[in-house]
Amino acid sequence: MTEETRKLSDWTAAARKRIKAFLYLLARKTSHEEVIEQVRADGQLSGRYIFMAVMSCGIAILGLLLSSPAVVIGAMLISPLMGPIMLMGFSLTILDIPAMRRAFISMGCGVLAALTISFLIVKLSPLTEVTPEILARTRPNLFDLLVAIFSGLAGGYAVIQRQGATIVGVAIATALMPPLAVTGFGLAVGSMAIAGGSFFLFMTNLLAIALSVTVLSKIYGFGTAHGTHDQPWQTVLIVGVFVALSIPLGLALRDIAYETRAINTVKSTLLVPFEGQEARISDVGIVVPRKGDIRVAATILTHERVPDAEATLSKDLSNYLGRPVSVSLAQVLIDENKGQDAEDYLRMADASLAAPLRAKIHELEAIGARQATASDLRRAIPFPVTAADIDPEAMTAKLIAAPGAGIAISGYRSMEATLAANFPDWKIEVVPPEGDLPRIAFEEGSDKIAPEGEAAVSDCIWALQRWKSGAAEAVGHASSNGDQRFNRTLAERRGAAIAARLKAAGFTVTASSDYRGTRQTADERRLGLEHFQTGLVRPES
């Protein structure tokens, strides 16, 4: 044995000793029995666990449908999924088969409950569009596996050290609950691609987190401390699962990286054949399948047509990307320098016998444009309607909303404003379904309308105008706190305040009050005192 080999062998033996001593110290400082008892308790199936899983997934799917990361994060704060996952990891370490069975049952029931609530919410929701938040959880890659591993290690450490477990549970839920909610979404809309991709992400994260906990618990001596020795099959299982997950996820990450590079390359190359013409891209669509030709469709605004642009781009992009690229270009000619020629031509046409024909052509073109705009308006209506009176000639539209959509008066008013902004040349009216008008909030103990009540008054006036209601009743309320005589007078003053606002808008109004004193205390306990710090408007036929 050479001197260098002997030194390396001694250094390796010393390093092993130090590692064993360090692991021994870790094991000594850990209360193994207390940790295991806590993990077993947290991983049990219970009514609270199922309830919190349903609530968490319900909030998560709503956040995904609204594309609101803040709402999705809020769902993580109440997720209970950390308990059974920790029990899975620790039971594999100490080879506690009954505990592992309980962990699988708890996780299975939680998954089933979460999928059920997300499926039902999507089925009942008018919003079923695939949002960016949903798409982000349908293509798992290697980075998702790393997130799950780090979450599992953090969760295992927090449980072993018995501090910060709630906060770390948020990170674990982040890796599990949104993919589970997206799976329910995919099942509800009938998209197996979305459901399959998100469920693969969920299973990847679940296995990675549980096995990361197993690795960390073995480092802290849980296997040996409970009478079991390291089993070779445990190591083979952990390494095998991680390798099996890493291969498809690594390939997916490679595909995403290639797709990003391909899109950037296409966008930077599209104008190369039009160099020197001040051409610009109007729109572009790029499809990068896993196999086969890359397809590019674009519209180029140019001063001069380039006949071989498609062939040139197809050849160049195929060389850059190493795959066949099919290019379809729509070249739209623009020429600001020929405006005078066009004016001369039009003057000649006006002076000729063709002038009446030209006028008729312009008239037909205008009619066609209005018809096209009317079709665009019909497609842009964001709510179900029972009738839509759209007049392209007068450029007016009256949209009568169908009942049962669950949209507030303020929502219909906002959608009318949006449609009017998108179609500025049109006069658009949205008629909401007849029903209860929003309650008008007052400042506490006062007949002054609160800021949020001002918005409700405006909504009431708007709805009455749309319903063609010339008369209404303004009703004031007051809570039963304090002096009864003052409260009764306060309710009357609130009704009068609402009536004054409606009269100023041109309505015939009857002011009244609805104050029942101590008889309304039961309703106050049920609805809250704020419910009686309000007034309301009732339309009269």
Has residue 348 been placed in a domain?
no
Tens of pLDDT along 356-387? 544 544 554 454 455 556 777 777 788 888 87
pLDDT for res 386:
83
Q: What percent of the chain has pLDDT over 70?
A: 79
- Whether residue 440 has pLDDT greater than 90: yes
Q: What does the block give as tokens for 496?
A: 């009068």
CATH number, residue 301: 3.30.70
Has residue 352 been placed in a domain?
no
CB contact set of 478 (below 8 Å; sequence gap of 6+): 487, 488, 490, 491, 494, 513, 515, 532, 533
* 366, burial (CB in 10 Å: exposed 0-12, middle 13-18, buried 19+): exposed
- Whether residue 312 has pLDDT greater than 50: yes
Mean pLDDT throughout 318-335? 80
pLDDT for res 503:
92
* DSSP 8-state assignment for residue 229: P
The string of DSSP letters for 160-205 reads HHTSSHHHHHHHHHHHHHHHHHHHHHHHHHT-HHHHHHHHHHHHHH
Q: Do residue 70 and residue 205 come from a single domain? A: yes
Does residue 294 or residue 330 have the better pLDDT?
A: 294
Please, are residues 61 and 185 in contact by the beta-carbon 8 Å criterion? Answer: yes
Q: Do residue 247 and residue 275 come from a single domain? A: yes
Q: What percent of the chain has pLDDT over 90?
A: 18
Q: At which of 431, 457, 486 does a domain end?
A: 431
Tens of pLDDT along 187-234? 999 888 889 888 988 888 888 888 888 888 887 777 655 545 555 666
Q: Do residue 204 and residue 260 come from a single domain? A: no
Instruction: Give kind and range of the element (H or E) at residue 486.
Output: helix 484-504
**Total domain count for the chain?**
4
Mean pLDDT throughout 102-109? 92
pLDDT band at 470 (very low <50, low <70, confident <90, very high): confident
Has residue 368 been placed in a domain?
yes
Tens of pLDDT along 478-491? 988 878 888 889 99
Q: Do residue 59 and residue 164 come from a single domain? A: yes
- Of 30, 18, 19, 21, the C-alpha closest to 222 is 30
Q: At which of 431, 458, 476 does a domain end?
A: 431
Mean pLDDT throughout 246-264? 74
Q: What does the block give as tokens for 73?
A: 């994060």
Mean pLDDT throughout 271-275? 82
Mean pLDDT throughout 518-537? 81
Q: Do residue 241 and residue 128 come from a single domain? A: no
Has residue 354 been placed in a domain?
no
Beta 427-431 vs 440-441: how paired, if at all?
Answer: unpaired
Q: What's the CA dihedral at 515, 518, 522, 525 to 10 degrees?
A: 90
Beta 294-302 vs 280-287: how paired, if at all?
Answer: antiparallel
Tens of pLDDT along 126-168? 878 888 888 888 877 778 778 888 887 888 888 887 765 555 5
Domain that holds residue 456: 440-540
Interior angle at CA 65, CA 64 and CA 68, nearest 5: 55
Task: Answer positive or negative: Cα dihedral of 318, 320, 323, 329.
Answer: negative
pLDDT for res 245:
63
- Phi first, then psi, for residue 441 (nearest 5°) are -80, 140
Mean pLDDT throughout 120-130? 87
Average pLDDT across the chain, whole number: 79
pLDDT for res 356:
53
Q: At which of 317, 334, 351 does a domain end?
A: 334
pLDDT for res 459:
92
User: What does R_g of the chain's alpha carbons equal in angstroms?
Assistant: 34
Mean pLDDT throughout 337-357? 48
Q: Do residue 53 and residue 96 come from a single domain? A: yes
Tens of pLDDT along 165-180? 555 555 566 678 889 9
CB contact set of 264 (below 8 Å; sequence gap of 6+): none
pLDDT for res 21:
61
How far apart are the C-alpha atoms of 274 and 264, rounded to whole Å? 18
pLDDT for res 330:
77
CATH number, residue 135: 1.20.1080
pLDDT for res 341:
46
Q: Do residue 123 and residue 52 come from a single domain? A: yes
pLDDT for res 238:
65
Does residue 431 or residue 332 have the better pLDDT?
A: 431
pLDDT for res 159:
81
How far apart are the C-alpha atoms of 445 and 532, rounded to whole Å? 11
Q: Do residue 210 and residue 288 come from a single domain? A: no
* 218, burial (CB in 10 Å: exposed 0-12, middle 13-18, buried 19+): buried
CATH number, residue 444: 3.30.1330.60
Cα first-last separation, the chain: 107
- Whether residue 68 has pLDDT greater than 70: yes
* Residue 53 CA: distances (Å) to CA of 178, 386, 541: 12, 39, 48
Has residue 528 been placed in a domain?
yes
Has residue 310 been placed in a domain?
yes
pLDDT for res 30:
67
Q: Do residue 59 and residue 190 come from a single domain? A: yes
- Whether residue 343 has pLDDT greater than 70: no
Query: Which residue has 């594309």 as its token pair?
Result: 67
pLDDT for res 240:
75
Q: What does the block give as tokens for 105?
A: 């049952």
- Of 111, 107, 147, 126, the C-alpha closest to 62 is 126
Q: Do residue 295 and residue 205 come from a single domain? A: no
* DSSP 8-state assignment for residue 518: G
pLDDT for res 462:
93
Q: Do residue 99 and residue 184 come from a single domain? A: yes
Tens of pLDDT along 15-55? 666 666 655 555 556 677 788 888 888 888 999 999 999 99
pLDDT band at 476 (very low <50, low <70, confident <90, very high): very high
Has residue 533 been placed in a domain?
yes
pLDDT for res 353:
44
Q: Do residue 318 and residue 179 come from a single domain? A: no
Has residue 277 been placed in a domain?
yes
Which residues lie across from 397 on neighbouring strands?
390, 428
pLDDT for res 378:
76
Does residue 52 or residue 292 have the better pLDDT?
A: 52
